[in-house]
Chain A
Amino acid sequence: AQSVTQLGSHVSVSEGALVLLRCNYSSSVPPYLFWYVQYPNQGLQLLLKYTTGATLVKGINGFEAEFKKSETSFHLTKPSAHMSDAAEYFCAVSRGTGGFKTIFGAGTRLFVKA
């Protein structure tokens, strides 16, 4: 069975500091992994995804994530936080085709302090 665990429901960083949002997954098949961002009063939008190939994936707004099979992790990072990065971030794993194919984590709220 597939599942996603996001460590930390809230993360607070100072502007300009490193952002690290943690995601661990379990999957009985090779995982396809996603990070989504939700800004206040908006729907989710894709930040980046890992399917196959290079394990370091770059996304929009300077975010990147590294797939580490040995650690079953897909942590999201950004070298320097900006105030506009304040949002809810969701890690997700795709478990197949059709049906309820995407399993979302519980989300991590990122706060950015001036």
Chain B
Amino acid sequence: DTAVSQTPKYLVTQMGNDKSIKCEQNLGHDTMYWYKQDSKKFLKIMFSYNNKELIINETVPNRFSPKSPDKAHLNLHINSLELGDSAVYFCASSGQDRDTEAFFGQGTRLTVV
């Protein structure tokens, strides 16, 4: 059973399109995240979300929006895709305590052409 699963694994789309990436975790964690990893492997936090609180990295364009139908799911919706959005997007989840590690999905490689 995969702990954090995201789909699709690969996504190729044209500029201007709207797309979504789905994420599900079966770990019972309260907090889920979206990260963007650029071509230099740098990890940038985009969102942190639990039942009560959405925290948005202020550098993330408002074309990006997280949507959580329930505690186990946090989907990422992207409007009006741009070339610079090409990257690998990772979903992750963790418990609330400081000493708990994050569990990552396998990533979604988004290519905007």
Contacts and interface: CB of A to CB of B under 8 A. Distances in A.
B50 A98 contact: yes
Interface of A: 32, 34, 36, 38, 41-46, 49, 51, 88, 90, 94, 96-102, 104, 106-107, 109
7 contacts: A32-B99, A34-B101, A45-B104, A98-B53, A100-B55, A104-B43, A106-B41
B1 interface: no
B4 A43 contact: yes
Interface string B85-107: 00000101010111101101111
B41 A98 contact: no
Nearest to A31: B98
A104 B35 CA distance: 11
Interface residues of B, number: 25
Main secondary structure of the interface of B (DSSP, over half): loop
B106 A42 contact: yes
Contacts of A109: 41
B43 A98 contact: no
A60 B108 CA distance: 26
Contacts of A102: 45, 94, 102
B65 interface: no
A96 B98 contact: yes
Contacts of B92: 43-44
A43 to B, nearest CB: 3
Given A32-B98, A51-B99, A98-B53, A43 B105 contact: yes
Contacts of B55: 99-100
B96 A98 contact: yes
